[in-house]
Amino acid sequence: MPNQASIRTVSLQDIIDGIRNIPDYPKKGILFKDMTTVLQDPVLYRATIDMMAERLAPLKPDIIAGVEARGFIFGAALADRLNVGFVPIRKKGKLPSETVSYTYELEYGVDCIEMHKDAVKVGQRVVIVDDLLATGGTAAAASKLINEVGGNVAGYHFMMELDFLNGRKLLQDAPVDALIHF
């Protein structure tokens, strides 16, 4: 049964204010935007999902693909809200069936993500969801996986975007949207 707190009106600024700033994490000079504080507040989390769903619904996805791990938190909730399927994109070695994989460069090394080969059908419209758009490398790698199995990337959607890192430049194949910009 809803309590009074669950029916309060939430603005985008309330969500922004709910994000905790952690200086010098993971290294000196970085101001980390910690969205776990939004997840801890059911009203802020619900409002975040509502706002994200409203913005990505016009893309008419067949599937939401969430990138491990925080993309699962938003992607699965958005898939439920939009009544579409959800596909997890995971780190190498975490999926039990036949996979496709893509290895890409990070700022300080390389990473590899995988998706089940049969997770997306040929021609399906897929929206890639994650918590944060920084440099764009992970989302671009997810796009490669979706294209490899014949899916169509209909868009990218993020809770937050660090505009100064210009991650959008790697995501030229579909519309890019973020709820919050820093």
Residue 70 appears among annotated catalytic residues:
yes
Whether the upstream peptide bond of residue 69 has omega within 30° of 0, thus cis, is yes
Q: How many CB atoms lie within 10 A of CB 174?
A: 18
Give yes or no for a contact between 128 and 78, defined as CB atoms under 8 angstroms apart: no
In degrees, rounded to 5, the angle at the alpha carbon of residue 9 between the alpha carbons of residues 4 and 10 is: 120
Catalytic residue among 55, 81, 107, 148: 107
Sign of the C-alpha dihedral computed for residues 143, 159, 20 and 168 taken in this order: positive
Look up tokens 């989390």; give the residue: 45
In terms of Cβ atoms closer than 10 Å to its own Cβ (0-12, 13-18, 19+), residue 38 is buried
Helix (H, G, I), strand (E, B) or coil at 14: helix
Give yes or no for a contact between 55 and 127, defined as CB atoms under 8 angstroms apart: no
Residue 125 appears among annotated catalytic residues:
no
Question: Hey, which residues does 91 pair with through a beta bridge?
Answer: 113
Catalytic residue among 46, 70, 81, 114: 70
Query: Annotated active-site positions, please?
Result: 70, 107
